[in-house]
Amino acid sequence: MTATLAGSPELKHRKILGMRVDATSYEDATNRIAHWAANGESRYVCCSNVHMVMEAHDSAEFQQVVNGASLVTADGVPLVWALKALKVPDVSRVYGPTLTMHVCERAARDGLPVALYGGTPESLEAFAAVLRERYPSIQLPCLIAPPFRPLTPEEDEAYTRQIVESGARVVMVGIGCPKQERWMAAHAGRIPAVMLGIGAAFDFHSGRVRQAPGTVQRLGLEWLFRLIMEPRRLWKRYAKHNPRFVGLFLRQLLGSRTP
């Protein structure tokens, strides 16, 4: 359920194939995250795209995970178009990597410590260096690059304790969808911080992975750019999800317009 921030209007939202997406903005999302973080509230934020919608469509458990977030942004341009088609005209894209920098800038200004969880030790150090150069006052008390395998309960407990003891009030989680959303939901109530699922933002901002040019993003073709960059890793995902999303959403849209 969308969380209402005191003094702010309740966000409009729609269910896209059963998964909630909120009509927020960079300013609104950053304000909400900073407010929750300053109060030490344990919450999580999802940045949704077609991949996430289809993962939620295929798994009732995962759909519940995303719908339980305090905020679900329209990270992908197709979801912005979908919300507009569902009569939410004032929606804008809130792209995870860009939101990451808005939140880090605000965290530096407000003195909110930020933890980084995900990636490799090299990518974390590279991203941390970018943040320290851009926001000299930012506090980064905890950098964790977990192994690329399921954690043992003992490992998970140790990492959780490390984050809590660091005093972090914002946790940037970059371990990929749907793993990062499940991780955040499992740690809600255990970590007194706002957890933000940001996918490949560590690699994007450190320059290890190229981002799609702005024009390509605005045309909703970022998926094609990423497919060209990483065909072996991504072709099955896009071949499985993209055509089904178009067909299923058109069916939802036509159904919503039937008297």
Higher confidence at residue 11 or residue 214?
Answer: 11
DSSP secondary structure code for residue 119 in this structure: S
Rounded CA gap, 88 and 13, in Å? 8
CA distances from 9 to 5, 53, 58, 200, 231 (A): 7, 25, 32, 31, 42
pLDDT at 76: 87
Distance CA 203, CA 207 (A): 6
Inform me whether the pLDDT recorded for 209 exceeds 90.
no
Report the share of the chain in percent with pLDDT over 90.
73
- Tell me the whole-structure pTM to 2 decimals: 0.89
Between CA 54 and CA 36 the distance in angstroms is 29
pLDDT for residue 216:
64
Structure confidence at residue 183 as a pLDDT band (50, 70, 90): very high
Lowest-pLDDT range of 6-20, 50-64, 129-143, 241-255: 6-20
* Helices and strands per DSSP (H, E), number in the chain: 12, 8
| Structure token digits, residue 16 | 């896209």
What is the pLDDT averaged over residues 188-192? 97
CA dihedral sign of residues 21, 205, 124, 167: negative
Q: Are 143 and 128 in contact, with CB atoms under 8 Å apart?
A: yes
Token pair for 176: 């990929």
| Residue 15 β-bridge partners | 20
In degrees rounded to 5, what are phi and psi of residue 104?
Answer: -65, -40
- The pLDDT, as a whole number, for residue 48 is 96
How would you write 53-88 as a 3-class SS string? HHHHHHCHHHHHHHHCCCEEEECCHHHHHHHHHCCC
pLDDT the model gives residue 217:
72
Find, among 185, 9, 3, 13, the residue nearest to 94 by Cα: 13
- The SS3 call for residue 3 is coil
Per DSSP, the residues of 137-196 read: T----EEE---SSPPPHHHHHHHHHHHHHHT-SEEEEES-TTHHHHHHHHHTTTSSSEEE
Q: What is the pLDDT of residue 199?
A: 84
Span 62-86, pLDDT tens digits: 999 999 999 999 998 999 999 999 9
Q: Is the pLDDT assigned to residue 1 strictly greater than 70?
A: no
Which of helix, strand or coil describes residue 114? strand
Share of the chain above pLDDT 70, in %: 86
pLDDT band, very low/low/confident/very high, at 241 (cuts 50, 70, 90): confident
pLDDT digits (tens, 9 = 90+) for 92-117: 999 999 999 999 999 999 999 999 99
Least confident residue range of 150-154, 191-195, 225-229, 243-247: 225-229
Evaluate if residue 250 carries a pLDDT over 80: yes
* Predicted local confidence at residue 2, as pLDDT: 54
